[in-house]
Amino acid sequence: MMSGNQLGVLFSLTTFGEAHGNAVGGIIDGCPANLNVDYELIEKKIKARQTANFTFNSQRKEPDKVEFLSGINKDKTNGFPIAFIIKNKDVNLSHYIENQDVLKPSHAHYTYWKKYGTDNALGSGRASARETIARVVGGCFAMMLLRQLGIEIYCFTSQIGNIKTRKIKKPNRNIIQSNPLYCPCTTTYEKMMDYLQQIQSKKDTIGAKVSCIVENVPIGMGEPVFDKLNADLAKAMLSIPAAKGIEFGSGFTAVSMKGTKHNDIYNTNFQTKNNYSGGIQGGISNGEDIRFSIAFKPIPSIMQDQQSIDTKGNNKIYKAGGRHDVCVVPRVIPIVEAMTALVLADHLLRFNAYKNTIV
């Protein structure tokens, strides 16, 4: 039995489907009524996550047409659960069948097999990034809700391998949108593209870091103990395939800083000097921009044969093949945006429910 397919409390998304099954899809619960459904936004974000539209992406070609089954009437949400489905068209399991009894290194294959006792990881199953298209659709509805309050989310590639962008307080969103890697620096983007070409030519993969900024977040979202806003964002980000770490504000550099340097000093407008807290203090948004970064590992699907074992413990070779990305970026960008929006939409509804109880 597989559980844990839902994210959120008041605004929630449940996803279903496997990488090479008939379809993937989801159910959005708690979306308020009378939101204008922005189909252009949905199409834009789906295309950004789509395969086969970038040199270093998997060449799986899916039309990714979303079919809405409920929750929408005359292009507006009606307050009921929004159910949707995306059918899988370009399914090819030949590579996975060839390696069916061989454990794929650094992959969910082993844990799926031991936990469920079946070949659920065939084609990566629920561990595949194919599942994340449902997250993107759900995240679009969350964005439709958030933008009513002017809350804006944007993400960018801040590192690929050892190539990093310089620290920019306010990255230029036009530059981010002008290149396929969503890199805020044109020179760094060119270096990253050259580096990806080198990695691909060696039939290898590489890790990356994605940074996210959320603007115009009201003060007071998040709860101070187990439902901290940063804790829920961290859970959402680490649920994305290949995510290995997250940091808010000053992040891991805070380890080497003294309190006299790290403390966020307020000015008379109740704004902080450096925002080392990343917009969240005590688990609650403080009105500053929310800033965090996620580290993603190299994708374990590489185009080289790898030493492994089979399910009986015999030495075997996991044979290269299939259709895979060289790096998680740029396809992971809309996924990070979507997961951020889902968490914020949920906390926004919880925040408003709390405010409405104040006498």
Judge contact between 257 and 250, C-beta under 8 A.
yes
Confidence of residue 124 (pLDDT cuts 50, 70, 90): low
What tokens does 90 get?
């370009």
What is the rounded average pLDDT of the residues 154-178?
94
What tokens does 347 get?
């906390």
pLDDT of residue 52: 64
Q: Say whether pLDDT at 359 is over 60.
A: no
Interatomic CA distance for residues 41 and 24, integer angstroms: 19
The torsion defined by the Cα of 59, 62, 64 and 65, in degrees rounded to 10, comes to 150
Contact residues for 132 (Cβ-Cβ < 8 A; gap 6+): 49, 240, 241, 335, 338
Judge contact between 102 and 314, C-beta under 8 A.
no
Confidence of residue 60 (pLDDT cuts 50, 70, 90): low
Amino acid (1-letter code) at residue 109: H
Interatomic CA distance for residues 354 and 164, integer angstroms: 41
The residue that leads in pLDDT, 281 or 95, is 281
> Residue 177: enclosing H or E segment and its boundaries?
helix 173-178
For 46, 213, 242, the CA distances from 55, given in Å and listed in that order, are 17, 27, 20
Q: What percent of the chain has pLDDT over 70?
A: 92
pLDDT, tens digit, 9 for 90 and up, residues 253-264: 999 999 999 999
Interatomic CA distance for residues 215 and 236, integer angstroms: 19
The torsion defined by the Cα of 318, 321, 324 and 327, in degrees rounded to 10, comes to 60
What is the rounded average pLDDT of the residues 241-258?
96
Contact residues for 340 (Cβ-Cβ < 8 A; gap 6+): 139, 153, 155, 212, 214, 233, 236, 237
What tokens does 173 get?
């969103």
Interatomic CA distance for residues 30 and 356, integer angstroms: 17
| Cis-peptide, bond into residue 300, ω within 30° of zero | no
* CATH 1.10.10.10 describes domain 6-355: no
Q: Say whether pLDDT at 128 is over 90.
A: no
pLDDT of residue 92: 65
Q: Say whether pLDDT at 323 is over 90.
A: no
The residue that leads in pLDDT, 33 or 110, is 33
Contact residues for 26 (Cβ-Cβ < 8 A; gap 6+): 13, 14, 15, 16, 83, 84, 134, 135, 137, 138
- Average pLDDT for the chain: 91
Confidence (pTM): 0.93
The residue that leads in pLDDT, 195 or 272, is 195
Domain boundaries, the chain: 6-355
Look at residues 222, 218, 294, 284 and name the one whose alpha carbon lies nearest to residue 251: 294
Q: Say whether pLDDT at 322 is over 90.
A: no
pLDDT, tens digit, 9 for 90 and up, residues 176-223: 999 999 999 999 999 999 999 999 999 999 999 999 999 999 999 999
Look at residues 218, 220, 246, 224 and name the one whose alpha carbon lies nearest to residue 339: 246
The residue that leads in pLDDT, 119 or 161, is 161
Confidence of residue 358 (pLDDT cuts 50, 70, 90): very low
Q: Say whether pLDDT at 6 is over 60.
A: yes
> Residue 341: enclosing H or E segment and its boundaries?
helix 333-355
Interatomic CA distance for residues 200 and 338, integer angstroms: 28
Interatomic CA distance for residues 131 and 56, integer angstroms: 20
pLDDT of residue 168: 82
